[in-house]
Structure 1
Amino acid sequence: MSSPGMAGILESSKELDRLKKEQEEVLGEINKLHKKLQANPEMVEKLGDNSLSRLKGFYTRAKELSENEVMVSNMLLSQLDDLLPSGPPGQPRRKIDSNDQKRKRMKNDSEVSRMSSSMRNQLEVFSNLKGQQVAARVLVQEDADKDEWLIVKVTNFDRETKEFEVLDEEPGDDEESGGQRKYKVPVSHVIPFPKQNDPSSAQDFPPRSHVLAVYPGTTALYKATVVNSRKRKTDDYLLEFDDDEEDGTMPQRNVPFYNVVPLPEGHRQ
């Protein structure tokens, strides 16, 4: 069994790899739009064309992914520093006395001061999620082979472990659940919802793109496909949820923009 420190490094490495892959996908979409606009620049003047808003959305996402990459990279460096022994290779670690601890605290303080502004901003964003509802992937069963994404309430964010403490306020009808459930989840398993009072915080998803959305009447999120573009930022999304077939047809359901988030990389359901 790997140590907690090594487990953290592996988790951060997976998150860094996920961010890299999503960056490549977003860059690919940006390049497609660039080529389309270069070949037919007058298309943006056509009624109903959303090329520029889509391009803005992709650039916004690319910026977020870049900032997250910096944060996770710094986190990995810090985790590796904690595991690497001090002194020349092969020299055993000596017992840390109080002076060593003071020097270590001073070193940590200086590292924090050198922390990139994007990482500090990201940590601040995470801290400000306390008390808010977010989409989170929680481990309901140890042998679960599917993603379980739920609406949960953030009760705390630990800046050291980069973990959220969340509360499932409606765990269902399971008598053995003992009421509301509490979970600890890494930052990679949490997606903030757009702000209901700020439609500009919502990402624009083009038709046929895949998203993660709250199924109407529940507190669970499932993979869905966007049916058509919204005319206004405040409009609901018209979605088709996977495995939602009724009488041989796929119903189209309205979901508020603030209950729709990007589909996580490698999502399984």
Structure 2
Amino acid sequence: MSSSVGGGGGGGGADIASLLEKAKELDQLKKDQDEVVAEINKMHKKVLATPETVDKAVDSFLLKLRGLYARAKELSESEISASTALIGLLDGLLQSGASTAQRKKMVGDQKKKRIKSDTDTARFSAVRNQLDQAANLKGEQVAARVKSDDEKDEWFVVKVIHFDKETKEYEVLDEEPGDDEESTQKKYKLPMSCIIPFPKKGDPSSAPDFGHGRQVLAVYPGTTALYRATVASHRKRKSDDYILEFDDDEEDGSLPQRAVPFYRVVALPEGHRQ
């Protein structure tokens, strides 16, 4: 029986050293066994070739042969013992490798949980900030979609009266309803998706800059209603008015260009119907 073993990862250095040492011992036992077997074979051949020689010294011959067999048995038992020890060392290394893999998996799982926790925390923080910003709009004028159907969205300038963080609803006041309204002022309760804050009048730097050709939602001059419009020219300063062309605002076959303050222009909502 021959053996060849190399070092590897997964087990400790002491375990690998023991494994190599036991493998060397097993190799030496095999070499010793081969020598004994070779000597036994020589004696067998001698019996077959010259039996008369054996007859003259039969006791001496048999005692030597018996000694060789006893040695062979001893070496064989030592080989079994060494092999068993090697198997035990290998099992230990394999279990250690499995434990290492399990530890790596646990560390990986912990990293995933930490990443998920960090993501959840970031998401919660973003939602909380959004709710805080919504609550801070109290008393401010905003753009609100107060009516919506399959054909048309109606947006107006309204004033925020209250924001409920539990229901995530705004209570708003239409301060200047049209002539067809039953009362001079009307209140609405609207979800967050129906509200767009206006840029701050006193802080042009905080307002988005919509370039030439961009479609926006803007307050039509002289009204509190917002309509879709297209930016008609480039502004030199962020505080300048936008020059807009409103959809369906034709005069003599062309769209007039109208000036609208930057703080009355917001991004066009996705899927807007007009």
CA distance in 2, matches of 1:114, 1:253: 42
Alignment match, 2:254? 249
CA distance in 2, matches of 1:169, 1:236: 24
- For 2:145, which of 137, 149, 154 is the aligned residue? 137
Deviations 1:72-104 (A, max 9, x none): xxxxxxxxxxxxxxxxxxxxxxxxxxxxxxxxx
**2:166 pairs with 1:170:** no
Alignment match, 1:199? 204
Greater percentage in helix: 2
RMSD: 1.9
* 1:116 to partner: Cα distance: 2.4
CA distance in 2, matches of 1:115, 1:238: 38
What amino acid does structure 2 have at the position aligned with 1:242?
D
Alignment match, 2:50? none
State whether residues 167 and 183 of structure 1, in contact with CA within 8 Å, keep that contact through their aligned partners in structure 2. yes
CA distance in 1, matches of 2:169, 2:186: 16
State whether residues 171 and 177 of structure 1, in contact with CA within 8 Å, keep that contact through their aligned partners in structure 2. no
CA distance in 1, matches of 2:139, 2:219: 19
Alignment match, 2:155? 149
CA 1:114–1:248: 2 relative to 1, 3 Å: closer
Alignment match, 2:223? 218
Alignment match, 1:46? none
**2:175 pairs with 1:158:** no
What amino acid does structure 2 have at the position aligned with 1:181?
K
* 1:182 to partner: Cα distance: 0.6
Gaps of 5+ in 2: 1-119
* 1:117 to partner: Cα distance: 1.9
SS of structure 1 residue aligned to 2:133? helix
Gaps of 5+ in 1: 1-111
Name segments (4+ residues, structure 1) moved above 6 Å: 112-115
CA 1:230–1:160: 2 relative to 1, 3 Å: same
What amino acid does structure 1 have at the position aligned with 2:221?
P
TM-score, structure 1 length as denominator? 0.55
State whether residues 131 and 154 of structure 1, in contact with CA within 8 Å, keep that contact through their aligned partners in structure 2. yes
State whether residues 136 and 149 of structure 1, in contact with CA within 8 Å, keep that contact through their aligned partners in structure 2. yes
**2:274 pairs with 1:266:** no
